[in-house]
Amino acid sequence: MKADVAIIGAGPAGLLLGHTLRQAGVDVVIVERHSAAHVRARIRAGVLETVTTDLLARLGLADRLQAEGLAHEGLLLADGDRLIRIDLAELTGRHVTVYGQTEVTADLIDAAPGRGLPIVWNAESVTLHDIESQTPSLRFRLAGVEQRLDARFLVGCDGFHGPARAAMPAAIGRTYERVYPFGWLGILADVAPCSDELIYANHPNGFALASMRSRTRSRYYIQAPLDEVVENWSDERLWDEIVVRLGPEAGARVVRGPALEKSVAPLRSFVFEPMAHGSLFLAGDAAHIVPPTGAKGLNLAASDVWYLSDALIGWFKRADAAGLATYSDRALARVWKAERFSWALTNLMHRFPDHTPFERRMQLAELDYIASSRAARTSIAENYVGLPL
Ligand code: RFL
Ligand code: PHB
């Protein structure tokens, strides 16, 4: 097999990049470890910045997003008793869109055959070769048979655990990491949301988030110990805790229902620099992870794709190498600001095992400051809707 660009991974980063390059007439093949059914079933992000929705619109793949996505013009921070509103529309003139990552992925997978975007599913043991040359390749097994894909460039869109970042020579890279001492226990249920807008709650018992996928499907999370097992949490116990942590006003409006899905996810901040070496580029979770508190992970994958697709199209269509040379620096400038925001919001809203009553009072003082200061709310709002490209 041959392609201009070989992409590893059919998550949001790989699918968005593949479609964008294909639309510009660049030959792409995506190689994915799992089946299409597995990728479609993964439940993850729910909040899209305009960076992401504009990319889908530019691809002409935003019909369902426009019909079914919910525009959110604000969000709420809860500090135990009070709800503090961050009015995104008034403070920034912008909004975010609630539309599940599952739906984004489905729309991109469904459109691939009609647009001549090949996706190789179920590719086992993908390895990267000759990344420092101009003739790199991927090797993998398909139903037990060895395959080879030659390309001019390789792009690792293979998430945090994929092989692409590991293929970078150790001497050229640097890793920055913070692992948080808790995870998020999530529940998805076909019940009406308790609020029209997302609620991020800092309760003495720990963090809680009220989110949604639609007007009839809710997504809630609570902070939980890292070693927590889902089996310890019956639906009833989890609903009880969600109600307590959201506070009296929102808690009273929680509608309970059977869990469609329940899982624990760890929280991590992580950046690998640089995002390019030789003929290999990284995009999305392959290069950086944020804790989900700021809703930035999927949106950072989309901003990487803006920069990288622009650079690769420049190289193939205008013989312009400048974009590829600056890709890593451009992408990382935006990544670090999103890392800062996600880390700060995580620190503000969670209960840390080593916190003393002093740290708790610092959190409450900051929430009180946010409630009273338009400048503080504007800072949160402009980060939440997404910083400019
Ligand atoms: P993905 O989605 O992990 O996709 C990587 C793909 O690569 C494949 N792969 C391989 N393929 C071939 N060979 C190999 N050896 C391979 N190894 C891996 C994988 O199967 C997969 O298909 O990375 P990508 O594309 O960079 O996208 C990143 C986003 O998925 C991620 O940042 C977000 O889900 C993070 N996130 C959120 N982001 C937001 O912007 N807003 C949110 O509201 C939000 N909420 C969340 C989140 C992530 C969560 N979890 C579970 C981590 C909520 C949660 C709970
Ligand atoms: C979600 O709905 O899954 C979600 C929303 C906002 C976040 C994280 C996750 O910050």
Q: DSSP letter string over 40-81?
A: HH-----EE-HHHHHHHHHTT--HHHHHH-EEE-EEEEE-SS
The whole-angstrom separation of Cα 34 and Cα 251 is 39
Residue 189 within a domain? no
- The distance from CA 251 to its chain's CA centroid, rounded to whole angstroms, is 27
Is residue 219 within 8 Å of 206, Cβ to Cβ?
A: no
Residue 161 within a domain? yes
Catalytic residue numbers? 72, 200, 292, 296, 384
Q: Supply the pLDDT for residue 305.
A: 98
Domain of 16 in residue numbering reads as: 2-45+111-177+268-346
Q: How far is the CA of 174 from the centre of ligand 1 (A)?
A: 21
**Closest ligand by atom to 214 CA:** 2
Ligand 2 pocket mutation pick from 43, 47, 341 by most atoms within 8 angstroms of CB: 47
Closest to 300 in 3D by CA, of 283, 281, 280: 283
In the DSSP assignment, the letter for residue 143 is T
Q: Between β-strands 137-142 and 96-98, what pairing exists: parallel, antiparallel or unpaired?
A: unpaired
Structure tokens at 208: 């809680």
Residue 331 within a domain? yes
**pLDDT mean by block of 10 residues, the chain; 389 residues:** 98 98 98 97 92 97 97 96 96 98 97 98 98 98 98 98 97 97 97 98 97 96 94 96 96 97 95 98 98 97 98 98 98 98 98 96 98 98 97
Determine if ligand 1 sits within 6 Å of the CB of residue 100: no
The whole-angstrom separation of Cα 234 and Cα 224 is 14
CATH code of the domain containing 330 = 3.50.50.60
Cα dihedral 142, 163, 49, 330, rounded to 10, equals -130
Residue 56 within a domain? no
Q: Supply the pLDDT for residue 314.
A: 98
Residue 300 within a domain? yes
| Closest residue by CA, ligand 2 atom 4 | 46
Q: Supply the pLDDT for residue 45.
A: 87
Residue 257 within a domain? no
Residue 325 within a domain? yes
Total domain count for the chain?
1
| Closest residue by CA, ligand 2 atom 2 | 46
Structure tokens at 204: 């003495």
Q: How far is the CA of 172 from the centre of ligand 2 (A)?
A: 34
| Closest residue by CA, ligand 1 atom 13 | 33
| Closest residue by CA, ligand 1 atom 17 | 162
Q: How far is the CA of 213 from the centre of ligand 1 (A)?
A: 17
Is residue 151 within 8 Å of 2, Cβ to Cβ?
A: yes
Residue 339 within a domain? yes
C-alpha atoms less than 13 angstroms from C-alpha of 73 in its C-beta half-sphere: 4
**CB-based contacts of 249, cutoff 8 Å, min separation 6:** 83
Q: How far is the CA of 159 from the centre of ligand 1 (A)?
A: 6
The whole-angstrom separation of Cα 107 and Cα 92 is 29
Determine if ligand 2 sits within 6 Å of the CB of residue 97: no
Three-state secondary-structure class, residue 345: helix
Is residue 208 within 8 Å of 349, Cβ to Cβ?
A: no
